[in-house]
Structure 1
Amino acid sequence: MGEVVKDEYSTDYVAGQDNIQKFGLDLHAPVFPITAVLVVLFVVGTLMFPAAAKETLDGLKWDIIGSFDWFFLLSANIFVVVSLALIFMPVGKIRLGGMDAKPEFSTLSWFSMLFAAGMGIGLMFWGVAEPVAYYTGWYETPFNVEANTPAAVNLAMGGTMFHWGLHPWAIYAIVALSLAFFAYNKGMPLTIRSAFFPLLKDKVWGWPGHIIDVLAVVATIFGLATSLGFGAQQAASGMNYLFETGSGTNIQMAIIVGVTALALISVLRGLDGGVKILSNVNMAIAGILLFFVIFAGPTMAILETIWVTSSSYVANVVPLSNPFGREDEAWMQGWTVFYWAWWISWSPFVGMFIARVSKGRTVREFITAVLLIPTLITVVWMSGFGGAALEQIQQGVGVLAEDGLGEVSLAMFQMFANLPLTGIISFVGIILVLVFFVTSSDSGSLVIDSITAGGKTDAPTAQRVFWVVMEGAIAAALIFGGGDDALGAIQAVAISAGLPFTVVMLIMTWGLLKGLTHERKLLVAKGEL
């Protein structure tokens, strides 16, 4: 007979048992009202006092960057190392939901959903703008390399890939795996606090857990607003580029209203009827657009760029990850710290969403899919869009070559202008931004609603409607309050929300490793592993 091992992570707590159920609502008593009040106060305050809000956000952003840049970089490195280790550790054989669990979604639908939720709008917004910014010295360059040189091409692509490769997906993977494991293998509510059970035991269902979930919701909703703000700016710029509609604050806010309405329809249709369908549509359109850029653009230059991007990323990922003694501190603080904070603020949303659709996968399969496959696809995406733009600049073709990077949200469309069927692919690009926009909003609303309903995944419709509207309202408030520097206001919110949740994630990582190790002992003792 095998060794008898006691399950230390069993609990009698049931999702939503502390909820208030009145007026057709199903609310987790402390978490929903606290987060709702905080969000409403932020929206109202930003709209009433835009100048003061902008000044406060900007000051907070630079205070955090100046004091905690090392902390963001070091933490992200830890998440990458732990994620890669999980692929090779014996716990990789553990299956989410039990050893007999079967996946609920096909591999293609599963991957489409996690990828669309994880990066969609960002890839569209920064796919051209970021490599061009580094190559031309628009802001700062990695390692202070001289702009407009062959070395700048190398580091433009390697530096861009650094921000969109293993680090962000490792951040998502840690949160997603923690949530999925404790929910599906331990029967706990699908909410952030469950991952802290190894540390807090049943205290996690009290105020310590309430604080964790409030931080998660605040980080999530402001991280979402960051992406929605980017999406609104890019869609407005694209529409103005094609139809001369204007791209000012009013147009951007009108786009947010329209997309929020579409997200509302999608979220009412649920995971299968709305989010899954939109995610599959996203991936199909994105794939078509990428292949068009590769084969209608400078194909050989792009294929060469894929190698340049990959090799530069591998060569520079460790030096770029170093948080200490950097000569390119301005680049690190202006770009990397923002990105890590943005991914971390997004991680409760993306992590919980990935967890919801990943039951039945083994830990090894899960980490491989969430970490490695998106990184490989992103190499091709960034090489296609960024490589085409850099080739145009080097050949002296188009606006980007003549005037450099001006309006960041317009960069992709300026690259499209030098390809065949410009009007059609620009229109397709706008549609893709908007569909990514809707997918992020509706899947984010499902996640926030689950957290604020105590981990229940079938909360009343009215609550989902509230969070969809609030996401749009925050994005609109940031654009209105930020004015000409709306991008700076959006970045400030992401960094501010990401800092406290970084601490939460570090503790969560420890809890995950402890939980998986204990689960393996249980399964080995039962003869199931």
Structure 2
Amino acid sequence: FTSASLIIGFVIVSVFFNEMLGNIFNPLLNGISTNAGWFFTLAVNIILLFVLYLMFSRYGDIRLGGDDAEPDFSTLSWFAMLFSAGMGIGLLFYGVAEPMFHFMVPPVPADSAAEAAQNAMKYTFLHWGLHPWAIYALVALALAFFSFNKGQPLSIRSIFYPILGEKINGGWGNLIDILATIATLFGVATSLGFGVQQINAGLNHLTGLEQSPLVQLFLIAGITTIATISVVRGLDAGIRKLSELNIWLALALLLFVFVFGPTLFIANGFVENIGAYLSSFAEIATWNETFENASWQNDWTVFYWAWWIAWSPFVGMFIARVSRGRTIREFLMGVLLIPTLVTFLWITVFGNSALYIDLFKGGNLGQGVTENVPLSLFLLLEHFPLSSVLSVLGVLVVVSFFVTSSDSGSMVIDIITAGGNPDPPIPQRLF
């Protein structure tokens, strides 16, 4: 009841008092970023190191659900749900926008356009690579272990059982779950906000539909109607099938851009981007702008670390829910490495294609991206054959990921507020 009241209250305030809310949240965001940015940076690096340790330790042989447990989903369906829930809609928004933004406004000084482009890809990889997936993996593993192996409810409170004991069934446990619900709400709201801006921008590009908050509210209402049907159908009949549809639609868009774009430049870039990311990993992963006295880090890296942490109850619980039957080693390799490589491939195909247009074709794409970030994907697609058809496909991909992210977030909030019941009642899913 408390979580429901908070959710309703937040939605009402967001819609009718948007400017007032911004005046409260923006100084709060700046204060946290400035004073605790170092802590976020330290925390995500410790999480990544701990996850790598677990992957290669003797604990890796433990099977989630017991020695005789079998996976509930095929490997392909499992990966599809991981990727759709964990990255989908945000990656569609930033796949073109972030590399181009960093190219136009470099995080560090560059001696040439080529160096600026490589740095842009390197820092984009930092924000979307091993660190966010390590955050998801740690939360998901803790949830899966205590739920499937220790018989605790599938809820965030269960992770704290070794510390709080039976107190997790009382007020302390309720407080933990309420905070997890709010974090999930805020994290998902951030991504869906980006997503609906991008859908609005795509429809404006195709049909001239006005870009405005009012239009975006109507789009949210319409797409949520579709999402409601899926979430009522449940995990297997609804969310799994939509996740697989997402992957096929996204793959079609990816292959078209790869084949009809600068294919060799993309292929070379994929290898080089990973090399640049890994070779400077320790430096960029611990960079805090200590000597630069600037705010780029607060606007980008610290924002991302906070965003991923806010998403971690949602994505962690969703990943735990679909990962029963896998060993800890298989689980961590699947959650940490495969999605990271797929993410790097996506960013390279779209980011390198956009950079190629500005570097070698005089396309001035970067200027358009910095002026209208939600339009960035569609500005790129203008440079391809059948651009209108591609833009329609782009809108469909964003809508499908919007629905899946909304469904997954709803399911997780349902599970938490139902006391860890993995199959919450339908009226609660509807709410």
Please state how far the C-alpha of 1:403 moved relative to its aligned partner: 4.8
Please state how far the C-alpha of 1:464 moved relative to its aligned partner: 1.0
2:306 alignment partner in structure 1: 341
Matches within 5 A, 1:189-338: 189-324=153-288, 325=290, 327=292, 329-338=294-303
1:415 alignment partner in structure 2: 380
CA, structure 1 residues 66+359, in 2 after alignment: closer, same or farther (shift >3 Å)?
same
What SS class does the counterpart of residue 295 from structure 2 fall into?
helix
* Structure number with bigger Rg: 1
Task: Read off the aligned partner of 1:450 and give its amino acid letter.
Answer: I
Taking the aligned partners of 1:461 and 1:431, their CA distance within structure 2 comes to 27
User: Is the aligned partner of 1:78 residue 2:46?
Assistant: yes
2:402 alignment partner in structure 1: 437
Deviates most, 401-410 or 95-104 = 401-410
User: Is the aligned partner of 1:64 residue 2:24?
Assistant: no
2:326 alignment partner in structure 1: 361
1:524 alignment partner in structure 2: none
CA, structure 1 residues 244+454, in 2 after alignment: closer, same or farther (shift >3 Å)?
same
Please state how far the C-alpha of 1:308 moved relative to its aligned partner: 2.3
- Contact 1:393 1:401 (C-alpha < 8 Å) held by counterparts: yes
2:87 maps to which of 109, 119, 124: 119
Matches within 5 A, 1:391-430: 391-400=356-365, 403=368, 405-430=370-395
1:459 maps to which of 413, 424, 428: 424
What are the Cα deviations for residues 199-230 of structure 1, in whole angstroms up to 9, with x where unaligned?
A: 11111111111111111000001100011100
1:107 maps to which of 75, 83, 86: 75
Taking the aligned partners of 1:151 and 1:307, their CA distance within structure 2 comes to 16
Structure 1 residue runs without a partner (length 5+): 1-32, 467-529
Please state how far the C-alpha of 1:329 moved relative to its aligned partner: 4.2
- Contact 1:398 1:415 (C-alpha < 8 Å) held by counterparts: no
Taking the aligned partners of 1:459 and 1:231, their CA distance within structure 2 comes to 27
Deviates most, 54-63 or 167-176 = 54-63
1:88 alignment partner in structure 2: 56
Taking the aligned partners of 1:147 and 1:65, their CA distance within structure 2 comes to 29
1:170 alignment partner in structure 2: 134
Task: Read off the aligned partner of 1:108 and give its amino acid letter.
Answer: L
Taking the aligned partners of 1:383 and 1:269, their CA distance within structure 2 comes to 35
Deviates most, 397-406 or 407-416 = 397-406
Q: Please, what TM-score do these two structures have when normalized by structure 2?
A: 0.97
Superposed CA RMSD: 1.4
Taking the aligned partners of 2:110 and 2:134, their CA distance within structure 1 comes to 31
What are the Cα deviations for residues 434-477 of structure 1, in whole angstroms up to 9, with x where unaligned?
A: 000000111111110010010012222111111xxxxxxxxxxx
What are the Cα deviations for residues 35-90 of structure 1, in whole angstroms up to 9, with x where unaligned?
A: 11222222223334333211011111111111111111111111110111111000
Taking the aligned partners of 2:17 and 2:251, their CA distance within structure 1 comes to 43
2:118 alignment partner in structure 1: 154
- Contact 2:141 2:320 (C-alpha < 8 Å) held by counterparts: yes
CA, structure 1 residues 122+268, in 2 after alignment: closer, same or farther (shift >3 Å)?
same
